Amino acid sequence: MIRINTVPSKLSYQIQFQENIATVSGTHELTGGPNIIIERLPQATLRKVTAVMQFPTVAQEKIFMNGYQTWTYCPELGRQDYTRRMGHFPKPLLDHYKLEQYGDYHFVDYPEQPGISHGESYCYFRQGKRFRLLASLDEHPGYTLFRYDSKTGTLRIERDCEGLTCCGAFHAFDLFYAEGTEDEVFDAWFAAMGIRPRTGEHIAGYSSWYNRYEDITQETIREDLQACIGKLQPGDVFQIDDGWEPFVGDWLEADPVRFPDGMKQAAQEIHDAGFRAGLWLAPFVATKESEVYRLHPDWLLKVDGKPWSCGCNWGGFYSLDLDHPGVQDYLRRVFDRVLNEWDYDLVKLDFLYGVAPFGNERESRAGRMIRGMEFLRELCGDKLILGCGVPLMPAFGLVDYCRVSCDVSLDWDDTLLKRHIHRERVSTRQAIGNSIFRRQLNGRAFLSDPDVFFLRDENLKLSEAQKKKLYTVNALFGGVLFHSDNMSHYRPDQDALYRQIRHLRDATDVRVEADCGLTVRYRLDGQEHALLIE
């Protein structure tokens, strides 16, 4: 099934050490299927592990470079395009908002020159319907960073493992290469990894975030829950998002003012309404106000002796140290309470990238991220995990559902000024783009969460045409179909449209045309449909 049509390409690789030891180098002929490059190394500290190869592309070829984490915008690029960083902010502003901590900016270089693009864990090159996929089979030894320069036709591959100590057999690269149709290359990659999605069950329901945001109370939750009865289906998910906890980091009790009856009672009411209950947590981070931060300074991950800030949400938040027994014990108690005592069926686990901003001499950054994900899976048993704010490949096969896009906004693409902040920014337009351009992960790595759609009229600045683009893409390319509306405000035509959107998931023959504009085509009830996205 794996065909190689192009002339096989030779990859030259180099392994450099921090000590004064001779560089190890070699060549490898890239073939279809797994390409595992193992070198026996002396006891030393790795500095750089890189490979280069010629990888010519033609004028119309499209390039996809997977973005670092859930929210990172990563559309297909043309050969003149480049991976955009963010606007050139004055350093104090950058430092204040910690924008570089949301993505790979703090460890990957962005030359921002026409034709230069980069991404993590997988990339593809597409001519019409023909894909050339180059992907990682294992990120434990370090993220696989791909960087393409279309001006010279060179592909550079780097293993993100600086500072890792090695001794003996080291997997310099665990690559997979395939050429063929979209389904052929992605099916072959997941077969080679032996990764299957944990569930095939598409879910639908409600998330409290995208209307009231953190201003939720048990009354607003009750109001929205009542509104869902008779409109959602039994077994759908009703998910309480950020705002229930006293402070980010403190997950053992609800905020006593907003949820005086507690979170067990909230889950009970959701169950009584016939739905499954979901709860949002950000288990690997904490804000300065939290008890976790104030009472356990030793639980924080320190970089150069200082707590590592992961961004500016909630006025700043910090990484917990996965290796600290106190953190592990605390998280065990948290998940036992949420899943067993309170009886939630699904947890939306967010800002997960915070667990592994760095590796150390024993473990790469990616290795730490994977270990964090495995730990969460262990704590959650067979309960459902919706991963969010997580580097994609470390979540493969470990979460049931995973966000593949940034947050949708209440308008289309934010203000001109805000368009220059980080690639992880909130944007409906970019969320739609990621749901389309990461569609191959849906049903292979997990079921994808494209984020919510909107049907409501109030508190929203999307046109009807924009709402249609969002719900169509979410229904066709995702396995999670949530909204954040108060459904009692729906008019009869909106009720009917909601039912129609759920029926959209029965579409077959879903296709994307991205060579000239962006169009989505599908068949439903024997009829052909097309929707122009851009």
Q: Measured from the CB of residue 425, what is the shortest distance to ligand 9PG in angstroms?
A: 6
CA distance 137 to 393: 9
Do 492 and 498 meet the contact criterion of CB atoms below 8 Å apart? no
Q: Measured from the CB of residue 209, what is the shortest distance to ligand 9PG in angstroms?
A: 5
CA distance 426 to 34: 37
Q: Measured from the CB of residue 292, what is the shortest distance to ligand 9PG in angstroms?
A: 17
Residue placing its CB nearer to ligand 9PG in the complex, 239 or 442: 239
Q: Which residue has the tokens 């050490």?
A: 17
Residue placing its CB nearer to ligand 9PG in the complex, 160 or 241: 241
Q: Got the DSSP string for 476-495?
A: HH-SEEEE---GGG--HHHH
Residue placing its CB nearer to ligand 9PG in the complex, 32 or 205: 205
Strand 237-240 and strand 203-207: pairing?
A: parallel
Residue in the shown chain whose Cβ atom is closest to ligand 9PG = 242
Q: Measured from the CB of residue 477, what is the shortest distance to ligand 9PG in angstroms?
A: 17
391 alpha-carbon distance from chain centroid: 5
26 alpha-carbon distance from chain centroid: 34
Residue placing its CB nearer to ligand 9PG in the complex, 136 or 484: 484
Reference 30, options 163, 120, 160, 135; nearest CA is 135
SS3 387: strand
Q: Per-residue b/e over 278-315, b at no fewer than 16 CB within 10 Å?
A: bbbbbbbbbbbbbebbeebeebbbeeeeebbbbbebbe
Q: Measured from the CB of residue 338, what is the shortest distance to ligand 9PG in angstroms?
A: 16
SS3 301: coil
Q: Measured from the CB of residue 174, what is the shortest distance to ligand 9PG in angstroms?
A: 30
Q: Which residues bind ligand 9PG (CB under 6 A)?
A: 71, 102, 209, 241-242, 280, 313, 350, 388-389, 407, 424-425
Residue placing its CB nearer to ligand 9PG in the complex, 75 or 450: 450
Strand 154-160 and strand 33-54: pairing?
A: antiparallel
Q: Measured from the CB of residue 451, what is the shortest distance to ligand 9PG in angstroms?
A: 7
CA distance 265 to 270: 9
Q: Measured from the CB of residue 442, what is the shortest distance to ligand 9PG in angstroms?
A: 18
Question: CB count, 10 Å around CB of 358?
Answer: 16
Question: 230: phi > 0 → left, psi -120 to 50 → alpha, else beta; which?
Answer: left
What interhelical angle do 464-477 and 428-437 show, nearest 10? Answer: 30
Residues sharing a CB contact under 8 Å with residue 248, sequence separation 6 or more, in sequence order: 242, 282, 285, 286, 287, 290, 313, 314, 317
Q: Got the DSSP string for 330-361?
A: HHHHHHIIIIIIS--SEEEE--GGGG-S---S
Residue placing its CB nearer to ligand 9PG in the complex, 209 or 401: 209
Residue placing its CB nearer to ligand 9PG in the complex, 76 or 350: 350
Q: Measured from the CB of residue 309, what is the shortest distance to ligand 9PG in angstroms?
A: 13
Residue placing its CB nearer to ligand 9PG in the complex, 117 or 313: 313
Residue placing its CB nearer to ligand 9PG in the complex, 209 or 259: 209
Both tokens assigned to 119: 């991404």
Amino acid at position 451, single letter:
D
Q: Measured from the CB of residue 370, what is the shortest distance to ligand 9PG in angstroms?
A: 21
Residue placing its CB nearer to ligand 9PG in the complex, 61 or 407: 407
